[in-house]
């Protein structure tokens, strides 16, 4: 069997301030905001954490991703939020490879969730022995310019709905 992953798909972290995160990664680090996922629950666990997940593209095609969870701040962080969302995601090349890894996980008695689909990928989720959440992702399609525009609009909508902080002026220009 070949290596589990051909490249890093994305790594995801929790952010407490989407506006500052978007500004830093687009303006300081010059990464492009290319996609988003906004759902009322965490698909891999079913936990009730409405969240916005934004993706910034790296030159090799992998992404750096950040979650903001509605009404969760560093001062009131619920125990499971970070572990439910923070994960390391690897890309697999084919559906057959994804299914092969499902069988491999079963053979090693490792529980997993999936395959499940989001806007762009079919994925399986599981934990390593250190309880680091891992994901194997098969890209169903790569986000294009339409998704980049939608991501900017959706992140702005998310920020405008926040009730726990004031937005800095000029948010639209920060996430272009």
Work out the end-to-end distance of the chain between its first and last CA atoms, rounded to an integer number of angstroms.
Answer: 42
Q: Report the pLDDT value the prediction gives residue 138, as an integer from 0 to 100.
A: 93
DSSP H or E stretch at residue 44: none
Question: Model-level pTM greater than 0.85?
Answer: no
Taking 70 as the threshold, does the pLDDT of residue 154 lie above it? Answer: yes
175 pLDDT above the threshold of 60: no
Domain boundaries of the chain, sorted by first residue: 7-174
pLDDT by residue (tens digit) across 57-112? Answer: 887 888 888 888 877 766 655 555 556 667 878 788 899 989 988 998 898 888 99
What stretches of 15-162 adopt beta strand conformation (E)? 32-39, 51-57, 63-69, 87-92, 112-117, 121-127, 133-139
pLDDT at 123 over 60: yes
Share of the chain above pLDDT 90, in %: 12
Looking at residue 71, what is its pLDDT?
A: 74
- The pLDDT value given to residue 81: 58
pLDDT of the residue at 163: 54
User: What confidence category does residue 169 fall into, taking pLDDT thresholds of 50, 70 and 90?
Assistant: very low
* Contact status, residue 101 vs residue 91, Cβ threshold 8 Å: no
Angle at CA 111, nearest 5°, toward 48 and 143?
60
pLDDT at 75: 63
DSSP 8-state symbol, 27? I
Most confident segment among 24-28, 46-50, 62-66, 159-163 = 62-66
Class for the domain spanning 7-174: alpha beta
* Predicted pLDDT at 16: 78
**Total length of the chain:** 176
């Amino acid at each position: 069997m070949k290596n589990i992953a051909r490249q890093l798909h994305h790594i995801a972290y929790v952010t407490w301030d989407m506006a500052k995160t978007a500004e830093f990664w687009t303006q300081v680090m010059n990464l492009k905001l290319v996609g988003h996922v906004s759902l009322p629950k965490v698909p891999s666990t079913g936990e009730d954490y409405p969240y916005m997940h934004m993706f910034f593209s790296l030159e090799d095609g992998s992404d750096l991703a950040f979650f903001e969870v509605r009404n969760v701040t560093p001062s009131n962080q619920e125990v499971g939020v970070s572990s439910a969302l923070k994960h390391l995601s690897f890309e697999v090349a084919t559906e057959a490879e994804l299914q092969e890894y499902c069988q491999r996980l079963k053979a090693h008695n490792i529980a997993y969730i999936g395959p499940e689909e989001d806007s762009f990928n079919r994925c399986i989720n599981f934990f390593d022995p250190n309880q680091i959440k891992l994901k194997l992702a098969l890209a169903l399609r790569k986000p294009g310019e339409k998704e980049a525009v939608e991501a900017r609009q959706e992140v702005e909508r998310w920020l405008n709905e926040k009730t726990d902080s004031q937005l800095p002026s000029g948010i639209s220009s920060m996430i272009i």
